[in-house]
Amino acid sequence: MMVECRLNDIEAGLVESSYSETIDSFDKMALKSDLLRGVYEYGFEVPSALQQRAIPPTIQGYNIVTVAQPATGKTSALCISVLQNIDPNIKACQALILASNHDAASQIQRTIGELGRFMQINGPADISKPDPCDDIGLSHDAQQVVIGEPDQVCDMIQSGIITPDNINLLFLDEADKLLSCDTAEQICAIYELLPEATQIVFISRTMPYCMLEIAVRLIRDPLYITVGKAEHPLDGIEQSYIVVEVEDHKLDILSELDKSSALARGMIFCNTRQKLEWLEQKLTVRGLAISTMHADIISIECAAIMAGFRSSTSYVLIATKILYTLVAKLSGA
């Protein structure tokens, strides 16, 4: 009965941010000294609005649903919270992070590695790789942080490669994507395999009903945190679209845009790295000057690519979600 009432509230649009306390300095968050050092070495100075509100309750153990726009520091807030709550003395998996694809998993792995460089942490292991056993370290001490797509994580728990007994934290990155597709059933299966007291955190860009319905059913008394909703992000920008029914015809359209100077300097976003590499090859053959950004490019290289893009008058940049992360980092978010 209580669940049905809460679902009715969601359907009526009554679920809003339920947590507004902030801590405006990393120094005041009681972070471990080695983690704090990593945060500052990473380039952060002042926490973003999202980090000020989401990190403190997360490291205190609250179940949380966080909704924020891109480039607000969601991924780094996730990584800082995970590192703070890991017990280095327990040589077993303590945190599971579910990602929607390999690029997202790789970026989280890289960010945790950089933020936790001064900490004695095993991992993080990215099991979204083609050969996850190379990263999971079966012949070594168990990884304390494991990142992967839901189907891979579920398979590894069920096969005994990942032991759930010490897992106390489950993160869903891009929860709106994870819970609006076929992986929702796998996520529920993972939840059933975890200890009852496991802390659950959803991080999302939007708050669709399907995500909130599952949040209500799985999460005990979650805090809802919404930050940084842009009111008119595209004011002053003329928008148009071209309907292309055949995938291969998109290349012809892009080439025509280049010839007409409409694509003299522009960005093309791809959902996956595989699509990015395919498009880079095809457009390069057609004579376009191309640069790419994806999760396996380090931050310094990304910054150099962006600097070149800004200074060039004839340039096409193809990117995955990594561009959001770079913008967040360069802006201090």
Give the residue with greater pLDDT, 331 vs 78: 78
pLDDT at 218: 85
Q: Tell which wins on pLDDT, 65 or 313.
A: 65
Distance from C-alpha of 325 to C-alpha of 309, rounded to nearest angstrom = 17
Backbone phi, then psi, for 203, in 5-degree steps?
Answer: -120, 130
Decide: 266 and 255 in contact? Cβ < 8 Å.
no
pLDDT value of position 108: 92
Ordered by where they begin, the domains of the chain are 2-227 (3.40.50.300), 249-330 (3.40.50.300)
Chain mean pLDDT for the chain: 80
Q: How many CA atoms lie within 13 A of 247 on its CB side?
A: 4
The answer, yes or no, to whether residue 195 has pLDDT greater than 90, is yes
pLDDT at 288 over 90: no
In the chain, what percentage of residues exceed pLDDT 90? 36
Identify the weakest region by mean pLDDT among 18-32, 59-73, 291-305. 291-305
Please name the residue ranges forming H helices in 181-321: 183-193, 209-218, 249-259, 273-285, 299-311
Rounded CA gap, 274 and 279, in Å?
A: 9
Instruction: Report which listed range, 9-13, 70-74, 116-120, 241-245, is most confident.
Output: 116-120
Query: Is residue 283's pLDDT more than 70?
Result: yes
Residue range 45-66: average pLDDT?
A: 93
Compute the distance between CA of residue 125 and CA of residue 118 in angstroms, rounded to an integer.
17
- Greater confidence (143 vs 327) lies with 143
pTM: 0.68
Q: Are 94 and 68 in contact (CB under 8 A)?
A: no
Nearest Cα to Cα of residue 229 among 66, 114, 119: 66
Q: Where are the beta strands (DSSP E) in 129-256?
A: 145-148, 169-173, 199-204, 223-227
At a CB cut-off of 8 Å and minimum separation 6, what does 161 contact?
Answer: 136, 138
Decide if pLDDT at 175 tops 70. yes
pLDDT confidence bin for 322, thresholds 50/70/90: low
Question: Which residues, in sequence order, are CB contacts of 79 under 8 Å at separation 6+?
Answer: 108, 111, 112, 115, 116
The residue with greater pLDDT, 152 or 263, is: 152
- Band the pLDDT of 76: cuts 50, 70, 90: very high
pLDDT at 143 over 80: yes
For residues 8 and 27, what is the distance between their CA atoms, to the nearest angstrom?
A: 41
Residue 227 has pLDDT above 60, yes or no: yes
Three-class secondary structure of residue 204 per DSSP? strand
Q: How confident is the model at residue 41 (pLDDT cuts 50, 70, 90)?
A: very high
Give percent of the chain with pLDDT exceeding 70: 77
* Cα torsion 65, 71, 75, 76: sign: negative
- Answer yes or no: is pLDDT of 240 > 80: no
pLDDT band at 191 (very low <50, low <70, confident <90, very high): very high
Convert the pLDDT of each residue in 242-281 to its tens digit: 888 887 788 888 877 766 665 567 788 887 888 888 888 8
pLDDT at 197 over 60: yes
Q: Is the pLDDT of residue 144 over 90?
A: yes
Q: Report the pLDDT averaged over residues 53-66.
A: 95
Q: Looking at residue 200, what is its pLDDT?
A: 96
Please tell me the predicted confidence (pLDDT) of residue 248.
77
- The pLDDT of 107-120, averaged and rounded, is 92
DSSP string of 75-89?
Answer: HHHHHHHHHHH--TT
Among 1-10, 61-70, 221-230, 267-276, the least confident range: 1-10
User: Closest Cα partner for 201 from 226, 170, 230?
Assistant: 170
